[in-house]
């Protein structure tokens, strides 16, 4: 039995009268890419927001690394214990250069939530700079390291955000629809990137619409429908599961 990184227990969340999450129980294993799929409005984003502490559930608990409670922590505290997140709309530093964009998360990881390093010079931060250069190399943008980030294309911005998360070497990376709104070419590039970083053994949760993406990178898939998990298994098991076809794929062949 593999070690559990994130454990979601009996999580319920409702907005007004609408039950968005209905008694969710989920275990994310170390080193695995866990995809959460489901039709629109199934509660995928709500679940992710609960995982990073953005939303407090009505009941239930989310624990990290066998005991650390997520709920009630502030975003920066959750990041400091090793959880990083890629947003649906890219959250980068638009006025800064690509290199600075990737250096900041590396600095933040090293310095903790606050450090008054006023008299240190940036030019002495070779280690941080090297890490950042490495991350830029992974996404293939090293040649553009002095470009200002706001001038990037949407797809590039999302890959930059991914690099910003990777440079922190998080224990758990959450990706919210990493290919939403991308052109086919961009999507393929991102899939390649995801496959490439999968080899590093980082645990990931991916929320995704695009089945092509899910089946190419996921080790395990959970299917969410109307706020409840109706199936969890390997891609092959999910493909074969009649319940899933009924609820999500509408019975169509994959």
Partner 1 sequence: MLIFTAAVLSMPIWLDPIGANYPDLLQKFAIFGIFAIGYNILFGLTGYLSFGHAVFLGVGSYTAVWSFKLLTMNVIPAMFFSILMAGIIAAGIGYVSLRRSGIYFSILTLAFAQMFYNLAYSVLMPITNGETGLQLTMHDPRVIDVAFSREVPEGLPSTDFFGISMNGYSGFYFCAVMLILAFFIYLKIFRSPFGMKLKGIKSNQKRMKYIGSDTRPYLITAFVISGMFAGLAGSLMAVTDPLAGAERMQWTASGEVILMTILGGVGTVYGPLLGVGIIKYLENIFSSINESVLNNFFSFMPQWGESLLTSLTMPFVGEGWHLTLGLLFMLIVIFLPGGVMEGLQRIKDSIMNKKNIEESEATAKESSDG
Q: Write out the residues near partner 1 by the rule CB under 8 A.
A: 52, 74-76, 79-80, 84-85, 87, 91-96, 100, 103-105, 107-109, 111-123, 125, 128, 164, 168
Shortest distance in whole angstroms from residue 139 CB to partner 1: 16
CB 133 within 8 A of CB 70: no
Residue with tokens 């450090």: 115
Nearer to partner 1, 40 or 121 (CB): 121
The closest of 108, 206, 102 to 163, measured between CA atoms, is: 102
CB 139 within 8 A of CB 186: no
Nearer to partner 1, 78 or 229 (CB): 78
Nearer to partner 1, 73 or 220 (CB): 73
Shortest distance in whole angstroms from residue 83 CB to partner 1: 10
Shortest distance in whole angstroms from residue 116 CB to partner 1: 6
Nearer to partner 1, 45 or 168 (CB): 168
Shortest distance in whole angstroms from residue 82 CB to partner 1: 9
Nearer to partner 1, 93 or 215 (CB): 93
Nearer to partner 1, 48 or 214 (CB): 48
Shortest distance in whole angstroms from residue 86 CB to partner 1: 10
Shortest distance in whole angstroms from residue 109 CB to partner 1: 6
């Amino acid at each position: 039995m593999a070690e559990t990184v994130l454990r979601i227990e009996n999580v319920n969340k409702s907005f007004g009268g609408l039950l968005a999450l209905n008694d969710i129980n989920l275990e994310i294993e170390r080193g695995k890419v866990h995809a959460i799929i489901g039709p629109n409005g199934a509660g995928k984003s709500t679940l992710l927001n609960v995982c990073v502490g953005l939303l407090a559930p009505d009941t239930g608990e989310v624990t990290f690394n066998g005991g650390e409670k997520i709920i009630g922590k502030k975003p920066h505290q959750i990041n400091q214990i090793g959880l990083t997140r890629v947003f649906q709309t890219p959250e980068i530093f638009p006025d800064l250069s690509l290199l600075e964009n990737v250096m900041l998360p590396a600095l933040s990881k090293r310095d903790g939530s606050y450090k008054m390093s006023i008299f240190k010079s940036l030019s002495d931060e070779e280690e941080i700079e090297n890490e950042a250069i490495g991350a830029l190399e992974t996404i293939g943008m090293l040649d553009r390291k002095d470009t200002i980030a706001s001038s990037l294309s949407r797809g590039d911005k999302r890959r930059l955000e991914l690099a910003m998360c990777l440079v922190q070497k998080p224990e758990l990376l959450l990706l919210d629809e990493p290919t939403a709104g991308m052109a086919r070419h961009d999507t393929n590039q991102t899939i390649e990137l995801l496959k490439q970083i999968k080899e590093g053994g980082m645990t990931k949760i991916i929320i995704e619409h695009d089945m092509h993406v899910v089946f190419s990178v996921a080790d395990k898939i959970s299917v969410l429908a109307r706020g409840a998990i109706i199936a969890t298994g390997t891609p092959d098991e999910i493909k074969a599961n009649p319940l899933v076809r009924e609820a999500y794929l509408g019975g169509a062949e994959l």
